[in-house]
Structure 1
């Protein structure tokens, strides 16, 4: 097993962080382009949000394929192949002749982009010692945020000086170059034990995970939190593109620098977990997310950016804890368990527009804030319930020992 901060640990962690970075560059590059694309294709706010929603939905679907498959054939080949396909599809998006083709390519791209997230944490669970795992997961999720930031900045900046098509070409080229580095860095798996793929067994593993209340709570918490967090960014771009802010694509891309708050939250999650239980860390993250959402009600653009930064810190703190919680609670079929967490996670993202759109139509951004608080109240309750279950489990174990 790989020990924390050893040479092998750094090499593997760097490779997986780079892979994560590349995935999220591709997934989120179109987000700052949504107001421009809405006008270009003459579709509604909800319609153009499908550019993001179809990709996150097929990411979720792919996890049900790649997670169980990785338990049978291994993780490394899946990560390499799907990164290659995701980058190639970014290049294809540049030549999409109409909106329907764009959506179809985004759906296919989302499916392949799900390959690495489906198995990366399971790869770490196989190869890393437990202390090494928590720190590596925090850094890996931090790379998610950097990829999301970079994709939006690159997408918005390139589109501002050229076109959306050029944005896709640049992102696709970056991905293929990064893939070469990833390929060289990722060590060969040594602790992985393949299990022949059987559909009946895979379905049984998924059912077992869903019947585990400690896993199901984390799945719901991650999915509902992401439903709010990622779609807030979509609606804030519409809000800031209109008067009195009237921001263009480049500046809309730059607002995603607030994701750096999430990078910090992920990086600090391991230290915070050393002082608080994981469910309490989740609760803390959700409360911070609710507070940041309140700050975005300010009319000042500067304070809106502060609020988004606070949101990112809180969300990724909770997400890091929920992800590692799944790794701890799943004693078998870790690939399936991690994949199922991400199924809920990305399904939540794809459905967020349907929850937030009525509030947006009725009250604009304040309506989105209200809808966010309502849903985050639910996830706060889930985190509290997980805390109670963990405390009950510890008390039962102590009583049985005595």
Structure 2
């Protein structure tokens, strides 16, 4: 039997990993940037429209938040199934199909005649998008050189920041000057274009090994991840981080519409331009974590979120914006570090580990996002700040605890 030497393709290491600053590295980052952009643009289009949906359908702020929670809730529930499906059919195929389907569903949201119809479409959107986040993280963990993983994960999360920003700002402007239906239609079309670019750019998986789905094996992998010394704490951080982040942006629009600010809808929607800070924060913190270690940087990002949250209590608009900027910087930095940490600690079933992280992440969005609506109803912005401050204090304690985590990262 003649042995043929394995020659790594251009842009790959001897082990087959994609190396930094190569054409394959740039194609991968471009594709995953578009995937992150589309995911957050489609998922969070409804967030700045919540006050308008309240007016159109006669909803309370908590009821209006269901337009977002319906998507993040189904997304959280189906992430584990999507990760298992990706192990069977492949990463790229599942992500491409999910992006295309979710874009079409967003366009259909523009045609909804009743609020229950809109909620059904938004729930289906979350189901479709379940095929992207965990699978994208698993793809990067498998294909990118470990020394550059923090940078690639940061760029992917930067794409989510850009999508979240542009989707929210554009939908705010379109809804204010035309209608919320046009906002859904335009964002959906942008999602279709992003999905096509993703399918064109992403290199095929090189390290992916398909395997049959076994429920018992999946449960065993879940138990293995949950018995790890660090992963459950990182999952809990994801729940708290995203719950706090979504809650701030869910209800800040209601606050800015009231005195002493009294901003119109498009003006309050402009605060989402602060998502640009998230692009810088995710990439910068990813590189810093690659150099100094995740445990030395994570708690600082959480502390920044807490300080930013306190600043939003001010009655001066410039102070509120400064606080939101610091809060946003801390969130994207912390999320970039925590999500890449999962890929490093999970030595097997990485797609499942990423799915568990994101299940907690989006459950935080749904549960804390709605709970903060009750805090707003009963205590205004001070009530929201108190609830989220307690959550961030718990998150900080966990981040400090992770500084003592045994090696593997």
Matches within 5 A, 1:1-400: 1-390=17-406, 393=407
Question: For structure 1, which segment, 336-345 or 368-377, has the greater mean C-alpha deviation from structure 2 after superposition?
Answer: 368-377
Return 354-363 or 122-131, whichever deviates more: 354-363
1:198 Cα deviation after fit: 1.4
**Structure 1 contact 32–155 (Cα < 8 Å) conserved:** yes
Tell me: CA distance 1:275–1:128, structure 2 relative to 1, closer, same or farther (3 Å).
Answer: closer
Query: 1:95 is paired with a residue of what secondary structure?
Result: coil
Q: Distance in 2 between matches of 1:199 and 1:181?
A: 34
Residue 115 of structure 1 aligns to a residue in which SS? coil
CA distance in 1, matches of 2:265, 2:127: 26
Q: CA deviation at 1:19?
A: 1.1
TM-score (norm 1): 0.95
In structure 2, distance between residues paired with 1:56 and 1:206 = 21
Unaligned stretches of 5+ residues in structure 2: 1-16
Number of equivalenced pairs: 393
The more displaced of 190-199 and 243-252 is 243-252
CA contact (8 A) 2:309 2:327 kept: yes
1:74-113 superposed Cα distances (whole Å, 9 cap, x missing partner): 1000011000100000111011110001001000001111
* Deviation larger for 295-304 or 145-154: 295-304
Residue aligning to 1:399: none
Cα offset for 1:73? 1.7
Q: Secondary structure at the match of 2:207?
A: coil
Instruction: Pick the structure with more helix per residue.
Output: 1
Does structure 2 retain, via aligned residues, the 8 Å contact 1:260–1:309? no
Q: Which residue of 2 aligns with 1:397?
A: none
CA deviation string 1:144-193 (max 9, x = no partner):
11010011011111111211110111011111122221111111112211
Structure 1: give runs of 5+ residues left out of the alignment. 395-402
TM-score normalised over the length of structure 2? 0.93
Change (3 A) 1:274 1:180: closer
Q: How large is the RMSD of aligned CA atoms in angstroms?
A: 1.5
Whole-Å Cα distance in 2 between the matches of residues 274 and 335 of structure 1? 21
Contact 1:83 1:112 in 2 (8 A): yes
Q: Is the 8 A contact 1:280 1:383 kept in 2?
A: no
Deviations 1:113-140 (A, max 9, x none): 1211120011111111101211100111
Residues 45 and 167 of structure 2 are in contact (CA less than 8 Å); yes or no, is this contact kept in structure 1? yes
Write out the 4+ residue segments of structure 1 that deviate beyond 3 Å after TM superposition: none
Take 2:144 and 2:259, find their aligned partners in 1: how far apart are those partners? 51
Matched-pair contact (CA < 8 Å) for 2:155–2:283:
yes
| Per-residue CA distance 1:326-351 (angstroms, 9 max, x = gap) | 00100000000001100000000000
| Partners of 2:319 and 2:266 in 1: CA distance | 19
